[in-house]
Amino acid sequence: MIRLPALAAALLACASASLVPVIAGAAPATPAADAPAFRAFVEALRPDAAARGVSRKTFEAALGAVRGPDPAVLARIRKQGEFGRPVWEYLVGAVSPGRIARGRARGAALADTLRAIEARTGIPGPVVLAFWGVESDFGASAGTVPTIRALATLAQAGHRGTLFRDELLAALQILERGDIAPERMSGSWAGAMGQVQFLPSTYLAHAVDFDGDGRRDIWTDDADALASIAGYLKDRGWNPALSWGYAVTLPEGFDLTRYAGDLSDFAARGVRRADGGALPGAGRASLFLPGGLGGPAFLITDNFEVIRAYNTSDAYALAVGHLADRIGGGPALTAPWPTAATRLDGAGLRGLQTGLAAEGLYQGEADGRAGPKLREAVRRYQIREGLPADGYATPALLARLQGRGGARP
Ligand code: CA
């Protein structure tokens, strides 16, 4: 099972970007197509492919006609490195009124299938639909880049060590099984396939043949795609007793230093669901204020981390969760988001991580990515400084942190 470590926030700008490892950093040293070296790389794959049960016939059908790297994929690698948009800008695009409407319509048309999937996996229909919507706009944008050539290009370029080489071999295994013809195996430039944007290794581990025709068709079969999403979430430990999280309102004077606990405890402290429903009687949750105190507030459960397993990004997870709520009939968010003046960009977040690490509050990479670890460190710093512990990093917080400069005894 792959746990993809860090999806570039930049990738979130793409229509389909999940289960794809980050391809960050410097441009490849050999951007120009180098067909002989490429073919040598392909030929060298043969023993490992054979060891995985890939026949010569399958190998030839997949790679025999691929004479060089995909220049469009190389161009995309070189474009990486830009930094992601804030959560709320991502939400606007990912949870648009049109997408909510399409999700509801598709949900109605596929109601029987979704009910059957929920009966098997415990994953609610709106959650499955939300992943489908964010990943491929309900199958409409599954990506048309030939997967084998894309993966071979990424593998030969040596990104992420041997990860893409392994994914290429996994893709050959899929072809060997006969799930899809080579010319129909397509997806994103980064090797994520079909309507669900699974990398090949994820596909091998989690894809589902819902209709029982012997093929796991995440490219053109809606039911297989939906069941595969649900299968992945079930395998990653989705807890059917809880939602991904709950949009909530906080009572006046809520004690932000107690930001994690049981849902029943939050309810007892006056936290209310924004849609008027009751919070479950039990279940671990933590308060998530992605735009700081005064902005939209959420209690997120362990299922939020299951969403992040699909794509390691708070913005992504929140978009999927909120889209599921909206498809299920829930209300829009009404609290205001921060303005540009109160958010840190990637460089600012890196500075914050470095500063918090120097204070002994953050143990992790200074990668400029917001997430649970940084949120926890910010809260600990805020509590130490007597500030409202909302876990939200602002430029003012960074200035305060850097002002101390290590002068602390
Ligand atoms: Ca099938």
How remote is the CA of residue 210 from the centroid of ligand 1, in Å? 6
360, part of any domain: yes
| Number of alpha carbons in the 13 Å side-chain half-sphere of residue 5 | 8
Domain residues for the domain of 374 are: 344-401
pLDDT of residue 403: 87
pLDDT of residue 341: 73
How remote is the CA of residue 225 from the centroid of ligand 1, in Å? 9
How remote is the CA of residue 107 from the centroid of ligand 1, in Å? 19
How remote is the CA of residue 115 from the centroid of ligand 1, in Å? 17
233, part of any domain: yes
> Which stretches within 199-345 are classed as H helix?
200-206, 222-235, 263-268, 302-310, 314-327
- Which two structure tokens, joined as six digits, stand for 189? 């430039």
Together in a domain, 251 and 224: no
66, part of any domain: yes
Query: How many domains does the structure of the chain reveal?
Result: 3
What phi and psi, each to the nearest 5 degrees, are found at residue 157?
-70, -15
Rounded CA separation 182/59 (Å): 10
For tokens 């959420």, name the residue: 298
Together in a domain, 2 and 22: yes
How remote is the CA of residue 62 from the centroid of ligand 1, in Å? 21
pLDDT of residue 7: 35
Together in a domain, 297 and 386: no
How remote is the CA of residue 208 from the centroid of ligand 1, in Å? 7
406, part of any domain: no
How remote is the CA of residue 227 from the centroid of ligand 1, in Å? 10
How remote is the CA of residue 160 from the centroid of ligand 1, in Å? 32
373, part of any domain: yes
pLDDT of residue 77: 82
pLDDT in tens, the chain (409 residues): 333 333 333 333 333 444 544 444 444 444 444 589 999 999 999 999 999 999 999 999 999 999 999 999 998 887 754 446 788 888 989 999 999 999 999 999 999 999 999 999 999 999 999 999 999 999 999 999 999 999 999 999 987 889 999 999 999 999 999 999 999 999 999 999 999 999 999 999 999 999 999 999 999 999 999 999 999 999 999 999 999 999 999 999 999 999 999 999 999 999 999 999 999 999 999 999 999 999 999 999 999 999 999 998 899 999 999 999 999 999 999 998 887 778 888 899 999 999 999 999 999 899 888 889 999 999 999 999 999 999 999 999 999 999 854 444 3
How remote is the CA of residue 213 from the centroid of ligand 1, in Å? 5
Q: Between helices 314-327 and 125-136, what is the axis angle to 10°?
A: 130
408, part of any domain: no
How remote is the CA of residue 194 from the centroid of ligand 1, in Å? 13
* Collapsed DSSP state (helix, strand, coil) of residue 82: coil
pLDDT of residue 161: 82
Bridge partner list, 27: none
For tokens 């794809």, name the residue: 20
407, part of any domain: no
Q: Which of 189, 206, 239 is the last residue of a domain?
A: 239
The answer to whether residues 170 and 200 touch, using CB atoms and an 8 Å cutoff, is yes
Q: Give the CA dihedral 219, 225, 231, 232, nearest 10 degrees.
A: 60
Together in a domain, 170 and 116: yes
* Collapsed DSSP state (helix, strand, coil) of residue 356: helix
* Residue 278, amino acid: A
How remote is the CA of residue 63 from the centroid of ligand 1, in Å? 25
Rounded CA separation 328/69 (Å): 43
How remote is the CA of residue 174 from the centroid of ligand 1, in Å? 14
Bridge partner list, 260: 286
Bridge partner list, 130: none
How remote is the CA of residue 117 from the centroid of ligand 1, in Å? 14
What phi and psi, each to the nearest 5 degrees, are found at residue 72?
-65, -35
How remote is the CA of residue 202 from the centroid of ligand 1, in Å? 17
How remote is the CA of residue 71 from the centroid of ligand 1, in Å? 33
Strand bridging mode 272-273 / 260-262: unpaired
Together in a domain, 191 and 64: yes
Rounded CA separation 98/167 (Å): 34
How remote is the CA of residue 176 from the centroid of ligand 1, in Å? 16
How remote is the CA of residue 381 from the centroid of ligand 1, in Å? 51
The answer to whether residues 318 and 298 touch, using CB atoms and an 8 Å cutoff, is yes
How remote is the CA of residue 217 from the centroid of ligand 1, in Å? 5
Rounded CA separation 199/189 (Å): 11
How remote is the CA of residue 262 from the centroid of ligand 1, in Å? 41
How remote is the CA of residue 113 from the centroid of ligand 1, in Å? 13
H helix count then E strand count, the chain? 18, 7
* Count of Cβ atoms closer than 10 Å to residue 398 Cβ: 17
Together in a domain, 350 and 293: no
How remote is the CA of residue 35 from the centroid of ligand 1, in Å? 36
388, part of any domain: yes
179: left (phi over 0), alpha (psi -120 to 50) or beta: alpha
How remote is the CA of residue 105 from the centroid of ligand 1, in Å? 23
How remote is the CA of residue 212 from the centroid of ligand 1, in Å? 5
How remote is the CA of residue 207 from the centroid of ligand 1, in Å? 10
Together in a domain, 140 and 103: yes
- Which are the contacts of 98, defined by CB distance < 8 A and separation ≥ 6? none
Q: Give the CA dihedral 75, 225, 169, 5, nearest 10 degrees.
A: 70
For tokens 């099984």, name the residue: 177
